[in-house]
Amino acid sequence: MDARHAILFEPVRIGPKTLPNRFYQVPHASGFGSAKPRTQAAFRAVKAEGGWGGVCVEYAPISQDSDEIPAIGADIWDDRDARALGVSAEAIHAHGALAGLELYHGGWSSPNGSSRAVRLAPSQLTSQLQWGGLAKEMDSADIARVQRDWVGAARRARDVGFDIVYVYGAHGYLMTQFLSAHANRRTDGYGGSLANRGRFWLETLAAVRDAVGGDCAIATRIAVHGDSGVPGAEGLPGIHIDDMLALVKMADDLVDLWDVTVGSWPEDSGTSRYYPEGHERPWAHRVKEVTAKPVVSVGRYSSPDLMAEVIRSGAVDLIGSARQAIADPFLPRKITEGRLDEIRECTGSNVCILREETFNHVGCVQNATAGEEYRRGWHPESFPAAADTGRSVLIVGAGPAGMECAVVLGKRGFTAVHLVEAEPEIGGRLRWARRLPTLGNWGRIIDWRAVQLARLPGVQVITGRRLAAADVLEYGADLVVIATGSAWRGDGVQPGYPDPMPGADPGLPHVLTPEQACAGKRPPGPRVVVYDTDGYYVAPGVAELLAAEGFEVTVITTFSVLSPVSDQTLEGDMLRAHLHRAGVSVSHATTITGIGAGSVTGHDRHGEPWSAACDAIVLVTQQVSQGTLYTELADGQALAAAGISGLYRIGDAVAPRMISEAIFDGHRLAREIDAEDPAQPSPYRRERADPA
Amino acid sequence: MDARHAILFEPVRIGPKTLPNRFYQVPHASGFGSAKPRTQAAFRAVKAEGGWGGVCVEYAPISQDSDEIPAIGADIWDDRDARALGVSAEAIHAHGALAGLELYHGGWSSPNGSSRAVRLAPSQLTSQLQWGGLAKEMDSADIARVQRDWVGAARRARDVGFDIVYVYGAHGYLMTQFLSAHANRRTDGYGGSLANRGRFWLETLAAVRDAVGGDCAIATRIAVHGDSGVPGAEGLPGIHIDDMLALVKMADDLVDLWDVTVGSWPEDSGTSRYYPEGHERPWAHRVKEVTAKPVVSVGRYSSPDLMAEVIRSGAVDLIGSARQAIADPFLPRKITEGRLDEIRECTGSNVCILREETFNHVGCVQNATAGEEYRRGWHPESFPAAADTGRSVLIVGAGPAGMECAVVLGKRGFTAVHLVEAEPEIGGRLRWARRLPTLGNWGRIIDWRAVQLARLPGVQVITGRRLAAADVLEYGADLVVIATGSAWRGDGVQPGYPDPMPGADPGLPHVLTPEQACAGKRPPGPRVVVYDTDGYYVAPGVAELLAAEGFEVTVITTFSVLSPVSDQTLEGDMLRAHLHRAGVSVSHATTITGIGAGSVTGHDRHGEPWSAACDAIVLVTQQVSQGTLYTELADGQALAAAGISGLYRIGDAVAPRMISEAIFDGHRLAREIDAEDPAQPSPYRRERADPA
C-alpha cells in the first residue's frame, strides 16, 4: 500500500463500537429490503469482504404507516422482519465489518398503498403524491407512538446483531418534515422555533439511545441545504446549513456518527453529468467543524488520493460510499494491495438507481455482478475456471458487451480469446457517447476494460479489422461470439410507426443520425430539429452539442417531458434546466411523421396537424441491431465445416438496450459458457413466500 | 330466484369440464400473483363461494423472458411457482367452481427488469418501453422454446389442479404481436399472410391441447379491434374483427372456450365515464356467430336482467366479469336468492386497477374487503358480532367513511347506531361529485349504502342536523365517530406552497372552489381558468361542466399531462380527448402563484414568469380535513364526564384521500372496534420469504 493512503485504514471509534477503517458503505436502497433476505445479505457481504469497514443495509421502515410499496424497503415492523435482516448482519460480520441499519419513517412521502394506513406528517400539507392521500397532522398520541415504534425497531435491530442503528433524518422524510419550517406549521411544542421543530428528532434520538445506546452506535443522517435549487422527488429541500449546524450542536451528545447528505436526493446522488467527485465536501466540512463526533459523507469518491486528502483536511472522518461500493466492492482491498489501476470506477450514471427504483433489483453498468451475488452466485472478483480453456474464442465487436465478455472469458482462464473490432478503437457506441457534452465519465466503462484486457494473457485485442462471414468461418475459432452492436435508424421508424417516415434519408444533407452528428456531419442551415422518441440521453446530448456550436435547436419529443428516462436516474430536472440555459427549445407530446424541404410535419398531442420550419432534423427515434453477420453465419452445416462448435450473439446485436444490460449480457454468456445451452440464461434463485 | 334469471344458472360444457353456471370470473390482475399464494387463494375463493362457476387466477408468465417486475404476475416458471398457484386452485374447488390459469407471454411488453432476459417479439420493433430495451426478433429456436415453455407451464398448471388453461392472445402481448401486421414484419412462415401471422398462436394451441387437452379445457383470449382509437398501454390495437373472425374459424377445433376482449386495455376495461354496461356485446356476438365453441366476454355487467338477455340473444355463453366480481363476489348467490337490491354494483371507476397497478394490491371502492380476505381475515358478507352491541354509537357525517362505518357496525349487530348528517342528503363529497359530467355511476356508492342503511334495524340515519361539540357531548352516545370529511381549500395552498396565494379568496366573485362551482356559483365573465394541482377527476369535471355552459375554459396544471391519475385508471387518453372535443384548452407544467383582477400570474416549467388574462379562477389545489369538531372534543375529561368511552376519527376528517380509502377506513374502524386501540390499524398477515 502507498503510505499516502494509510490514513484511510485507521480504525474509528463510534460510540460503543469501532470501525476497522474509514471505508463506510452508507445505507442505500437495493430493492431487496427484508423481502429478499439472502439476496440482501450476499449483496452487502461482498462489500465487507472487499474491505469496507462499515456496511449498512438500506432504509428500514419501522411500522405499517411507513409502507413504501411498490418500492421495497427493509421493513422491520416485527420480529420476523428483523430475523430476515439479521441474515445480512451476520453475513457482514463474517468479514469483520460493522453492520448498520437505517431505521426510517417516510411521513407524508410513504405511499402506504399496500398497508392502506393513513400517512403521517407534522402538518396536513402535501407532497406531489397527494392524490394517494394527504397526511394526517400527527397528534401527541401519534408522535409518542412513532417514537415507541422507533425504539422497538432499534431493539429488534440490536437483537439480530446490528452494530449501528440510524435515526434517519434526511432526504425530506419524517424527521426533515418536522425540521422544515416549510412543512411544519404546528403551533404546539413540536413547531415554531428551531428547537421546537427539532424536538421530535432529538426526543427520538434520546429514546433510541436510552434503549440500545449501550450496545449500538447511534447514527443519524441529516440533509443540509445544497445548491441544486430543485425540490427533488421528496418535495422538500434540505434544511439550511445554519439551522442544521445549530441542531447538530443541540443533538451532538445523542449521536455517535453524523451521516451528512446534501440537498435533495438528486443532488445528494448527483450524477457525473452535473456534479464533480467530492461535491458534498464543503457542506460536510461545515458540519464537522461544529461536532465532536465522527462525520461521514458521500460524494462519488473513486480516487484514493482524493479520499486521503479529504480525510487529512478534516472534512470528514469516514469516506461514505453507495455507488462506488456497488461499482467496486473491493475498492478498499485494492488500495491496500496497491492495485489502484484495477479499481472499477463508478461512472456516476445512476443506472443503479434506475434499476433499483424501476425494477426493485439494483444493478450496475460497471459491475455486472451487482445484485447477482446470491441469485446467480456471481462474485465480482472471483471467476471459476471454465471447463476447457483451450478452446479458441473469436469475439466480433469490442463494444460494451464484447469487451465484457472477453474480460470474463480471460479471467475464467481462456487462453486464446480474440476480440476483433472493425473501428480503430474499442468501445462501441461509447466511443461517441463519451464525447457528448457532460458524458465524459461514461468513458470509464471503456477505460477499465481496456486496462483489464491489456493484462489478460489469454486475450488479444485487434482493432481496425472488419470481419465478413467468410472471414469468421476461416478464422479458426472454436467458439464465435457476435457482438456487432446496434445503430440508430435513419429511416424514421419509431414507436407505433413501423414503416419508414417519408423524407427520412440520412443520405440527404438535412437528415442526420446521432452517429452522423457525433462524427461531424452538420446541418445545412441554422434551424435544427432534434426529434426524440427514445427519451434518454442521446437527444439531449446531440441538442446540446449543436446548440453549443450556435445552431438554433428545438427538441421535438413524443413524451410529455424531455427525457423521461433521466427522471429515473434523478437527472431530469437538472437536465431540463441545463438545456434551457443552453438555449434549447422543446415541444412536447408531438409526433413527426414526415420530413420535407425546410419543414417537418406531424401531429400534436390531440392528433391535430402540426408542422415546423427547420433546416435539418436529427432522428433519435429508434435503434436497430446490426445482426447481419450473425444471420449469415447461423447455418449449422457451414459452422460445423469450419470447426465452430458454438455461435452466440450478445448485447445490442441481439437487441438494442441500455449499456448496463449489454454488459450484463456479455458477462452472462462468459459465466455460463459451459451451460447446456449457453445462449439461454440459466434459471436463477428466487426468494419466494412458502406456497403452503 | 326470478325465472327470468334461470338461464344464468345453466351448466356449460367446455372441453372435458363442465362449468356449473354461466358466471365466469375472467383472469384479471390482483397484484398477488404467485408471490402471495394465500392472499391470492382467499381473494379467488370468495368468488367461488359467492357462486361464480368459473374463477380464474391472473396472467401467468411462463418463463423468465416474460418477467413483469415491478408488476406482479402469477409466474409459473417452475414447480415451486406452480405449487404456490395450486393453493388457489384448491381453494376455488372447495366451493365447486372450476379454476382457470391464464398462461401468458408478454413479448416486447415484458420489462424483464428483474430477470434481465432479452425481450422477445416477432420483429425488432418497439413498444413505448424501448429505453428498457428493444426486442429480439425471435428466431426459430426462440419460437420452439417459447412453445415448449407454454406446454411445460400448462402441464404444471394441470398437475396442481387447474381445470382451464389459457393460451393468452389478447391485449397486445406476444400472440397479438404475431397476429398484428403492424408488429409482425417477418418474412418467414410466421409472418406475411393472416395464416402465417396466426401460425405461432395455432401451433401453441395445438401443442398445449396435445399435452393437457384431455384433462383441461383450453381457453384462449383474443382481442378484436374496438373503437377507442387509442393504442393503449400495450402500444397495439386489437386485431381487426374480420381478420379475427377468420382466425377464430381456423383455430376453432383447438379451442374449448373463447374469451373475447375488445380493443386495448383501456377500452376493454372501459370505465363508466366513457362506456356503458355491455359495451363489448356486439363484438362478442360477431365471434359467437363463427364459432361452435362457448364464448365469454366482459362488459361491466351488473344487471341480472341484462345478463340474462345477453345470454338469450346468443351474444355470449358466459357472463364474464372482473370488476363486478370484485365489487360483489356474491352477485350470483344474490340472484339465486332473489336479493337483487343487495347487489353491490361496480362503479366502473377502475380504482381496482389503480390500486393493483400502482401498489400491487388490488382494492375496490365498493367492497372494502377486496384484497383483505386473507391478510385481515375479512369476508364481504360475513360480519362477526361485536363484543358489546348494546353500546350506542354516534357517527357524525354521512359521507363515504361514515356511511360504511354505520353499515358495518349495523351488520356486526350494534343496536343503536346514529348516523347524523348536517346536509339534507347523505353522501358527503359524492353528493356533488356524482353530478359532474360522466361521473353519475359513482353515485352507486351512496345508493348501495342507502339501501343497506334502510334495512339495518340498529342504524338510524338522521339528515339535516349539524352537531356542535356540545351537542355531541350531550348526545348520550357511548362511542363517537367523527366523519366530517374534507373541503377544497379556497386559499390557494398547493404542493410546495404552504402559504396562502395572494388574491385567493373564495368570497370574491372571481375565485371559486370546486364545491362552489358545483353548487352553482358562476364566474363573472366568460374566460375561466381551472387550476389543477390535484391531478385526478375534479378539475376535468369542473372544466367540462363550465365548458358545457359556454365558458371559455383553460385548465392550467402543474403536471406535464392533464389528470395523470386518470392514466392509473386507464382513462387518461380518453379523458384528454373528451375535454379537447369539449373545447377545453390546457397549459401544462405551469404554476400559478397569484390571482389579480383579470389575470393570474405564476411561472412556467423553467421557472420563467408567466401570466394569463381571465375573468375567474377555480382552485383545484388541495383539500383540507374538516377536523375542528374532533379537535374540540378530544379532551379526555369532558368525554369521560359525558360518558363517552371512545372517540374516533375516520375518512377525510383524518386526512383527505381517495374515496376507496375513506371507505376502507370507516370499514376498518367498525371491524376493529373491539381492538385494544381501535384508532390504530391492527397488524395484518404478510406473506414473506423465509428469513433463514
Provide the shortest C-alpha distance from residue A497 to chain B (in Å): 8
Predicted confidence at residue A224, as pLDDT, reads: 86
DSSP string, B80-105: HHHHHHHHHHHHHHTTT-EEEEEEE-
Query: B623: nearest CA in chain A?
Result: A134
Provide the shortest C-alpha distance from residue B163 to chain A (in Å): 20
Give the tens place of pLDDT for each residue, A307-347: 999 999 999 999 999 999 999 999 999 999 999 999 999 99
Q: How far is CA B318 from the centre of its chain?
A: 22
Predicted confidence at residue B692, as pLDDT, reads: 62
**Position B368 in a domain:** no
Is A231 in Cβ contact with B126 (below 8 Å)? Answer: no
The number of distinct structural domains making up chain A is 3
Cβ proximity of A52 and A30 under 8 Å = no
Is A689 in Cβ contact with B231 (below 8 Å)? Answer: no
Predicted confidence at residue B238, as pLDDT, reads: 58
**Position A7 in a domain:** yes
Alpha-carbon distance of A317 to A310, in angstroms, equals 9
Q: Does A636 touch chain B (CB under 8 A)?
A: no
Alpha-carbon distance of A127 to A144, in angstroms, equals 23
Predicted confidence at residue A264, as pLDDT, reads: 85
Cβ proximity of A599 and A531 under 8 Å = no
* Residues of chain B contacting residue A622, judged by C-beta atoms under 8 Å apart: 126, 130, 134
E strands along A386-454, which residues? 392-396, 416-420
Q: Tell me: do B474 and B497 sit in the same domain.
A: no
* Residues of chain A contacting residue B580, judged by C-beta atoms under 8 Å apart: 606
Is A657 in Cβ contact with B118 (below 8 Å)? Answer: yes
Side chain identity, residue B682: S
B 201-240: CB under 8 A from A: 231, 235
Q: Tell me: do B613 and B653 sit in the same domain.
A: no
- Structural domain of B421: 393-485+626-672
Catalytic residue check, A173: yes
Q: Tell me: do A468 and A499 sit in the same domain.
A: no
Q: Tell me: do B667 and B612 sit in the same domain.
A: no
Alpha-carbon distance of B604 to B612, in angstroms, equals 12
End-to-end CA distance of chain B: 54
Predicted confidence at residue B635, as pLDDT, reads: 85
Predicted confidence at residue A125, as pLDDT, reads: 82
**Position A595 in a domain:** yes
Q: The domain spanning residue A80 has which CATH number?
A: 3.20.20.70
Cβ proximity of A435 and A394 under 8 Å = no
Is A123 in Cβ contact with B496 (below 8 Å)? Answer: no
**Position B685 in a domain:** no
Q: Tell me: do B192 and B324 sit in the same domain.
A: yes
Alpha-carbon distance of B351 to B362, in angstroms, equals 9
List average pLDDT for each run of 10 residues in chain B, which is 692 residues long.
95 98 98 97 98 98 95 96 98 98 95 94 78 88 98 98 96 91 93 96 98 98 72 55 94 98 90 95 96 97 98 98 98 97 97 95 98 98 97 98 98 98 97 94 97 97 98 98 98 92 98 97 98 96 98 97 96 96 98 96 96 98 95 93 97 96 98 97 95 69
Predicted confidence at residue B535, as pLDDT, reads: 95
Predicted confidence at residue A1, as pLDDT, reads: 86
Side chain identity, residue A216: C
Q: Tell me: do A217 and A301 sit in the same domain.
A: yes
Q: Does B117 touch chain A (CB under 8 A)?
A: yes
* Residues of chain A contacting residue B130, judged by C-beta atoms under 8 Å apart: 495, 533-535, 622
**Position B312 in a domain:** yes
Q: Tell me: do B194 and B94 sit in the same domain.
A: yes
Q: Tell me: do A247 and A328 sit in the same domain.
A: yes
H/E element, A144 = helix A140-159
Q: Does B293 touch chain A (CB under 8 A)?
A: no
Cell 361485536 -> residue: B386
Which triple of cell numbers denotes residue B620?
Answer: 383545484
Cβ proximity of B229 and B267 under 8 Å = no
Distances (CA, A) of B79 to A82, A674, B85, B362, B436: 29, 25, 10, 26, 51
Cβ atoms < 10 Å from Cβ of B634: 17
A392-396/A416-420 β-pairing: parallel
Provide the shortest C-alpha distance from residue A294 to chain B (in Å): 33
E strands along A533-604, which residues? 552-557, 585-587, 591-595, 599-603
* Residues of chain B contacting residue A83, judged by C-beta atoms under 8 Å apart: 691-692
Q: Does A578 touch chain B (CB under 8 A)?
A: no
Cell 336479493 -> residue: B339
Q: The domain spanning residue A476 has which CATH number?
A: 3.40.50.720
Query: B118: nearest CA in chain A?
Result: A655
Alpha-carbon distance of B429 to B659, in angstroms, equals 9
**Position A388 in a domain:** no
* Residues of chain B contacting residue A688, judged by C-beta atoms under 8 Å apart: 34-35, 80-81, 84, 689
Low-confidence ranges of chain A (pLDDT < 50): 229-234
Q: Tell me: do B467 and B543 sit in the same domain.
A: no
Provide the shortest C-alpha distance from residue A574 to chain B (in Å): 11
Q: Does B40 touch chain A (CB under 8 A)?
A: no
Q: Between B495, B655, B688, which is nearest A127 by CB?
A: B495
Q: Tell me: do B527 and B457 sit in the same domain.
A: no
Catalytically annotated residue among A59, A104, A166, A173: A173
HSE of A122, CA atoms in CB hemisphere, 13 A: 28
Q: The domain spanning residue A519 has which CATH number?
A: 3.50.50.60
Q: Tell me: do B407 and B517 sit in the same domain.
A: no
**Position A379 in a domain:** no
Closest by CA position to A296, among listed A52, A59, A61: A52
Catalytically annotated residue among B173, B531, B536, B537: B173
Q: Tell me: do B61 and B164 sit in the same domain.
A: yes
Q: Classify residue B241 by its DSSP letter.
A: H
Query: B535: nearest CA in chain A?
Result: A131
**Position A570 in a domain:** yes
* Residues of chain A contacting residue B658, judged by C-beta atoms under 8 Å apart: 131-133
Judged by DSSP in three states, A179 sits in helix
